[in-house]
Structure 1
Amino acid sequence: MQNVTSISKICRSIASKSRKNLFLFNDPCTRSFTAVSAGVTSPKFHQPEIPSHFHKWGSIGFCRTSRFATGFNPLQRKPLDSIVDVQRLKDRYPDDITSIWDDYHIGRGHVGLTMKANLYHLLEHRAKECRYFVIPLWRGNGYTTMFVQVQTPIMLFTGLEDYKARGTQASPYFTVSYYTELAESKDLVLIRGDVVFTSKLTDSEAKWLVETAQSFYLNDARYKLVERFNKDAQDFEFKDVLRALDMPIL
């Protein structure tokens, strides 16, 4: 387990690299590398150099069982109409849709959430300026640090330890998709989280991660930490994130 000072240093290194680099994550669901970078549509992606600090980074608790494949494809969401009957949802009240969506995902290795359209638009706006952040996931007597990448309508979570070990080929542990098909008519955005590695994240942990990540983008005070991470990395301190979440500073 790394101390807060070490985590702050590695986070600053990530933040400074992130402004220049294209992060590639291997998605075992599609068995092809998936790319997330603002404005990138070409299949010819640049694979950045792994930050040197990662080679000094110790284990923070995850075992790696990822499988990798060749080839590059843009990250693609599962279409909403392949999950639910969208036309039937259009005839329901927003509260009913929320209940149906949440109940459908319980106990399935997935997470189902919803948010108001205005909150999604705020998340979308802020993610364009600040795409990366780090979230500590508390487990018993310590925490595992997760790296978050947001490019709406996609949000990705992976472990810092796995990123250190595999660099740009690190697999996401958890992927989140935002569906805006009902935003205008129902003032509702559907959120689906897919736990890629159920051995690394439980459904409840995944739900907590997406809700917590969203809170850092939607809460003005917390968003200042996201801005600092992305724009003023030299001033970023991981302990400030722990304080915001009322977690002990180890």
Structure 2
Amino acid sequence: MASLRTPALRHVVSGAAPYLRATQRRWAQVHDVRFLATQQSDRILAKYKEKLDRKAKEEGLRDINELKEVYKDKIQTLKKKAAIQIPIATPPPAEATTPKSTSPFPPPPPPPRIPNEKAPSSTPGIKTLSSYLDIEKTRALPQKELEAIWRLRHVNDAQSLCAVIPLDVYRTIEATAKQHPHFILPLPKEGQGAEIHFLQWAFPAENTVTVLFTHLAEYKLRGEFSQPHTTITHHLELAQDKGLVLLQGQVVEGRGVSVDEAKWLVMCLQKFYGVGGEKSERRRLLELFRNGDPEFRVEDLVEEAEKVV
């Protein structure tokens, strides 16, 4: 397993804010999105209290509680119609003896089908490495010069991330990603607990592999229409010749995540996906999440994310 001291993503996490490099466990208070939704409901009730009191009197009722009781069935019906389901496929039916899952996180969809024939690298809408570098000229450069050029290519973009990953480290990460294409990661917020983010892997082209990071609360609300705040792309065009994979990322300004925080998420990504076939706690959490197992605990996820190695 590649530790944080390996050069795999060292450049990605350089310059991160001090509190991200030395996270304290006292911040690891997970804010359940269901609790936040309840708070929002209470605020709405308070906002319309006067109108509801007037409606109760018009109906000849004593207060809002009696009004809610009278309209209980109608309220439940409207709630069901307004409910937004996360577009995540349910797993195949289990054996009759298998206990029903009570996990608060719906099981993610199965890993994407890997076609027998690789998709062409010229897939529309996908930026390949040739969008950033002259591949043939770069191919002739020594490894150190290639790394320097890749980092210099992004130095003037304040919202970008970049890294150079050894091919053997990347292959481990990719193999894990194909088994676990969806996961969640915690992001410490000083004095506010840990904010949870949803990640999705995609393999859109032969030499291009992407990861999308989205706020979990937004993904639960909007599903496939949610907007990612960070997109990471792995470019494999030079992998065989140079033994390196070039990573490029973009953090969208104004979507609630800073560049330093995005670096933290990418660092956590390597922690969990760089475990290979090891039966570690991180691997166990990946498998529990994939299966929608009720034993998956966000507290355990936060604890593993905070570990230095």
Q: TM-score, normalised by structure 1?
A: 0.69
> Which aligned pairs between 1:197-216 and structure 2 lie closer than 5 A?
197-216=253-272
Which of residues 205, 224, 239 in structure 1 aligns to 2:299? 239
- 1:182 matched to 2:231? The reply is no
Partner of 1:145, secondary structure, is strand
Contact 1:15 1:233 in 2 (8 A): no
Q: Which residue identity lines up with residue 203 of structure 1 in the other structure?
A: V
Separation in 2, partners of 1:15, 1:119: 30
- 1:155 matched to 2:215? The reply is no
- 1:145 matched to 2:196? The reply is yes
Output one character per residue of 1:112-142: Cα deviation in whole Å (capped at 9) or x when no partner: 1111112222122111111111111112212
Partner of 1:86: 135
Partner of 2:294, secondary structure, is helix
Output one character per residue of 1:23-77: Cα deviation in whole Å (capped at 9) or x when no partner: xxxxxxxxxxxxxx71389xxxxxxxxxxxxxxxxxxxxxxxxxxxxxxxx8843
Output one character per residue of 1:73-98: Cα deviation in whole Å (capped at 9) or x when no partner: x8843121111121221122222212
Alignment length (residue pairs): 198
Partner of 1:214, secondary structure, is helix
Q: TM-score, normalised by structure 2?
A: 0.57
- Displacement of 1:107: 4.6
Contact 1:8 1:238 in 2 (8 A): no
Partner of 2:247, secondary structure, is strand
Contact 1:7 1:238 in 2 (8 A): no
Q: Which residue identity lines up with residue 92 of structure 1 in the other structure?
A: L
Separation in 1, partners of 2:181, 2:226: 17
Q: Measured at CA, do residues 163 and 75 of structure 1 come closer, stay the same or move farther in structure 2, by a change above 3 Å?
A: farther
Deviates more, 1:192-201 or 1:177-186: 192-201
Separation in 2, partners of 1:143, 1:168: 24
Which of residues 97, 122, 132 in structure 1 aligns to 2:146? 97
- Displacement of 1:180: 0.6
Q: Measured at CA, do residues 7 and 95 of structure 1 come closer, stay the same or move farther in structure 2, by a change above 3 Å?
A: farther
- Displacement of 1:14: 3.6
Which of residues 105, 126, 142 in structure 2 aligns to 1:77? 126
Contact 1:163 1:170 in 2 (8 A): yes
Partner of 2:273: 217
Structure 2, unaligned runs of 5 or more = 1-26, 36-85, 87-101, 116-122, 204-208
Contact 2:33 2:217 in 1 (8 A): no
- Displacement of 1:207: 2.0
Separation in 2, partners of 1:236, 1:7: 16
Deviates more, 1:236-245 or 1:4-13: 4-13
Normalized per residue, the structure richer in strand is 1
Q: Which residue identity lines up with residue 147 of structure 1 in the other structure?
A: F
Separation in 2, partners of 1:224, 1:75: 37
Output one character per residue of 1:128-184: Cα deviation in whole Å (capped at 9) or x when no partner: 111111111112212221111123411110001111222221011111111111111
Partner of 1:114: 164
Q: Which residue identity lines up with residue 126 of structure 2 in the other structure?
A: R
Q: Measured at CA, do residues 75 and 170 of structure 1 come closer, stay the same or move farther in structure 2, by a change above 3 Å?
A: farther
Separation in 2, partners of 1:8, 1:39: 32
Partner of 2:67: none
User: Which structure is larger by alpha-carbon Rg, 1 or 2?
Assistant: 2
Separation in 1, partners of 2:105, 2:181: 12
Partner of 1:38: 112
